[in-house]
Every structure is written in structure tokens, then in C-alpha cells.
Amino acid sequence: MPDDDEAAPPGDQYFTERPRSRSTPRTLRFLYRGELLAFVVDQGIFASHGLDPGTALLIENLTIGRTDRVLDLGCGWGAVGVAAAKAAREGRVILTEVNRRAARLAEKNLERNRIMNAEVRVGPFFEPVPDERFDLIATNPPYRAGRLHVLRILTEAPLHLRSGGRLVVVGKGSQGIRFYQEWMGAHWPGPVEVLARGAGYRVLEARHPGNGTAK
């Protein structure tokens, strides 16, 4: 759910449940850990012309264990979720998305890349995973949907992390990533650090306190 409204009609953006943009699907590919991954993308969703630099930086800096349980929150067409599922081969990945066109594409892209340990669920925020906890939550939040939406994600994320679990967020200066970094530093229950910087983006990691609970 990153910051992009390519070719969207007025009022139609990536946080829209049912985009009105004319469907014009196309295929793109990128390398992940030496494997060429193929995806179908479309108008009316984020990054319809290719992998955006923020999401690419996020993927490059994700540390994922083979048995991890991962949430790709706001998955778009599924780039993060597919990469996570490749890394967590003995784990499980849940991809969530409010945009129904993007969710359908994410499902197709799981199939296209022969992913068996992941599934797509439709809905906003954490509603598709109400009582579930994860080792890792990865997200490029819906910045254009407004600050309250982003803060809701940051506020609710600790409730969906296992002990020692991590939230990894990417954003750029024009999206207010420094504000969110400061907010997390003041409100997050565990430590917050900058994992990477590049092209104006920052990747932030916030860790849930490892107190031996919530497993």
C-alpha cells in the first residue's frame, strides 16, 4: 500500500477497495536471492509499472527465518509476500490487502511463482488476522490515505507480534518517515532502529520485547 496513484481516476487510489481504473495487466520480473520471480501487475494499484524503490529496499533488508510466520500488510501485487514465502520455506506467510484488484493479482502471483506456504486475505489493517501473531510484519504503509491510517497500523502492530517479533516499515521523507520514526521511538514497547537508507527512503525495524510471552 505505498505512495502511488498511477493512472487513477479522481478519488481512486491504492487504498480504494474497488478501483475504477481500466484494467491493463502486464508482466514484470525481478531477481530475489538469485531466483527470477515473475509477476502480473495492473492499473488501479500501487507500482503498476514496476517494483518501486521503497519496496525494493524493504525486501533487500528483511531478515526472515525458514520457519518464521510473516505478515505482508497491504501486499499490493505481492512482491514482499512472495519474497518472504521464498525465504520462510518452512513457515507461513499471510498477505493482506484492501484493494480487491491487487488482492486478486497477489493470489495469481503466488500461483505464478509456485508458492505453497502463503495465502491472501482481503480487508483493511489487521482485520483479516484478528487473533493472529507473527514473527515479522512487513509493510509499506498507505501514506496518502492519511496519518491516522498509518498511526493505526503502528499502534496495533504490537498486538500481532510474537515475543521478540519485528515490525519492519519503509517510507521516505516526503511521506513523513522521520515523524513516524520519532513516534515509534516514543510509543513503541521495544527498541526502534534504522535498518537501511537509500534514495530518500528509510527502513525502520521495531522489535517487540522478548519477554517469553505471546507465543
Output the DSSP codes for 145-197. Answer: G-HHHHHHHHHHGGGGEEEEEEEEEEEEGGGTHHHHHHHHHHH-SS-EEEEEE
pLDDT computed for residue 214 by the predictor: 40
Report the DSSP pairing between strands 161-172 and 134-139: parallel
Q: 72 phi and psi, to 5 degrees?
A: -95, 100
**Identity of residue 194:** V
Start-to-end CA span in the chain (Å): 28
Which position has the grid cell 501487475?
A: 41
Domains and CATH numbers, the chain: 51-207 (3.40.50.150)
pLDDT computed for residue 47 by the predictor: 65
Cell of 43: 492499473
Higher pLDDT, 209 or 96: 96
Cite the beta strand spans of the chain per DSSP E.
Answer: 26-32, 35-41, 69-73, 92-97, 118-122, 134-139, 161-172, 192-198, 201-207
What does 161-175 look like in DSSP terms, one character per residue? EEEEEEEEEEEEGGG
Say if residue 7's pLDDT is above 50: no
Say if residue 211's pLDDT is above 60: no
Contacts of 129 (CB under 8 A, 6+ apart): 71, 94, 96, 121, 160
Cell of 188: 513503541
d(CA 88, CA 85): 5
Q: What angle do CA 133, 139, 144 make, to 5 degrees?
A: 130
pLDDT computed for residue 43 by the predictor: 76
Give me the numbers of helices (H) and strands (E) for the chain, helices first please. 5, 9
pLDDT, tens digit (0-9, with 9 covering 90-100), for 67-97: 999 999 999 999 999 999 999 999 999 999 9
Evaluate whether 57 touches 170 at the Cβ level (below 8 Å).
yes
d(CA 103, CA 129): 15
pLDDT computed for residue 50 by the predictor: 75
For range 158-167, the mean pLDDT: 96
Higher pLDDT, 3 or 113: 113
